[in-house]
Structures are given as structure tokens and as C-alpha cells.
Structure 1
């Protein structure tokens, strides 16, 4: 298979609230559900879940073809995608192409490989469960990012402290709570811009 070098990169970002975004170049990477639907909830990484396989397929399909992507999606998930366990990651197109060149040289015999990879379903499920147990706590992450306590978060959202504690125990924030936090974070960023502008004006006045 001839490999053409490519300077574009794949970028993944996971927000504090768990939303995930993947781009290729400057555009959002398509999920390609119409060709290969493993996940109904978009992409994932850092594990071997269906969302991770969806990401593997889309990355491979972006640089090769659908047949190759479907055949090797599980292997690429195991080799590469499950290792992306950070909030932000970057993989160059050249790296993906090199993986294809190294692992897909016998693509004509892909049916045999497909049968072999399809038989490894139970370990995948176990791996996903282990990953879930190791998942960080969303409430603690938000408090750490904002440099506040859970009590202060409750005061900001105007909810009882016990409510925030319950979210931390369940490791889950309801939709309205997420929206309120997103609004607060956006407001904080805007306030910093305003403060910077005021400081700039003050400096000008002192000249």
C-alpha cells in the first residue's frame, strides 16, 4: 500500500463536563455512523469502548478507505486509541499512516484478521469496566480547575451543599447543573477580559 505523507493532525479534547470533541485539520472529524455505527454517543478514548472503536474507524477511514477502517478499527483501538487517556491529545496524520503501513500490509487477507479480532470481545468489556472504575470525579475536577471548594461551588450555583456532595458521590451532575457551571465558567472568563481592559485603561491614564 502506497503511503502519502500528510501534515494534518487529529486533535481530541475532553471538557471538564465530559463533552468530547475531535477535529482533523481545522474541521470536526465526522463520526461516519452511516458506514460504521458502534456508538450512539459519539467518540471516546482512553479505553476500548464502542465510542473508542468509532473514533478508530473514523480516523482510519479519513486516511484510507472504509473497508480497511472497518477491518482494523478494533486493532487500532487496542494499539492506539485506548492509550489516549489524557484530556487533550494530538496525533499526526503521518503517524496514523505509518501505523496503517506497518499493520495493514496483508489487507488482502483481512477476512481472516477480522474473524480473529472479532473473537476478542470479552476482554474489551472487562477493560472498559476497569477504565470506568479509574474514572476521575467530575465534581472534584471542576472544583480543582476553578480553585474552589464544594461548599463554594454550592454557593455559586445557589444549591444546598448536600446536593453538590451527592453529585460528587454519584460522580454525576444533572443537565441543568452542568449548564449553570458552564455559564459560570464563561462568565469568569468574560470578567477576566473586562478586568484586563480596565487595567489597560488605568495604565494609559497614568502615562
Structure 2
């Protein structure tokens, strides 16, 4: 943010009457409250961090800088400067205000830089973590994914060539399914159906043998 500073180095003065009325001047003129730009309180206050003190902080900063800087630094200027004004009368030169602005403008640049760098690192770290998790998930899926062809051949105690003959498809097709561990849905269903059929036949055969023992 670029701050345009008014080089008119007048003095800010605050005065509180015995009746409690408060006046603030800048140079020889009364300091505008600037309700048209920023309004949080009806009038000025100081010696605290009240809304009136914040209204004064904004008006003072707005007088020598711009609206953006004034809004961004209301609370800090209130805390550092306005809250420490004497309850009755106070004076601060334009040079003092500009010195505070210069110091805090430099600090603001450093703070923004420090805040932005961790955010970049955080985003990069997040992307790296997501990539690592994705790679681990893919590895795990490949590792845990069963090989339908190999499992079927092992369970049925047959070769891939014999399985190809059973399914009436080329041996190369079955071999490709086994190597890539990728099999079309119909091929998988056919193998599962045949495997289950063999299991059922074995159950029936065992049952027949059991019945023979009872005779």
C-alpha cells in the first residue's frame, strides 16, 4: 500500500473545557471529525481506547495520509498515541505523527512479508502431502487388489492355458489379464461363475460319497 503523506507539518492540539467539552485543532483550524468517511462516535475522546478515541485516531491519520492507511491503523494509533494523551490538554506535532506513520509503515511491510511466506510454504506443503497420500493409496490398491486369473487358476489347480480353453478364448487374452491384473467385467463374471460351479460340483460329489457310506 502506498501512503501519500501531506507535508503540511502543523501541530495537533487537544483541549477539554471545565464543562467537559472537547476540542481538537490542527494548525489554526478545528480538526474535522470526518463523519462522512468514518463514523463510530459522536465527537472526539482521548486518554483511553474508546470509540471516541478511535474517531480521533482516524481523523488525525486521515488528515496527513489517506483513508486506507487511516482505517488500517486506527486501533494501533489509538493504543500507541491517542490513549496516552493527557486527559485535559495535549499537543503532538505533525512530525511526531509522521514519524509514527513511517515506523509502522515499515513494520507493516515486514509483517505482511512474514505472513505471506508461511502461507506459500503451507500451500506447497499441503500439495506435497496430498500427492504423497495419493501415491501411497495407489500403491496400496495395487498391492491389495486380487488377481482374478491367478487366484482362479490356483484354486482350481489349472493352468492359464486350461482356463482359456474352458472360457473358449485365446490363451494370450487370459495371459494379458493376469499380467496387467485388469479384466473386463464379463470375463471376471465368467471366471467367477465357473469357479463357483466347480465348487458346487465338488460339494455334490462329496455329498454322494457321504450317502454311499451310509448304505
Normalising by structure 2, we get a TM-score of 0.47
Structure possessing the higher radius of gyration over alpha carbons: 2
Question: Which has the higher relative contact order, 1 or 2, with Cα contacts under 8 A spaced 6 or more apart?
Answer: 1
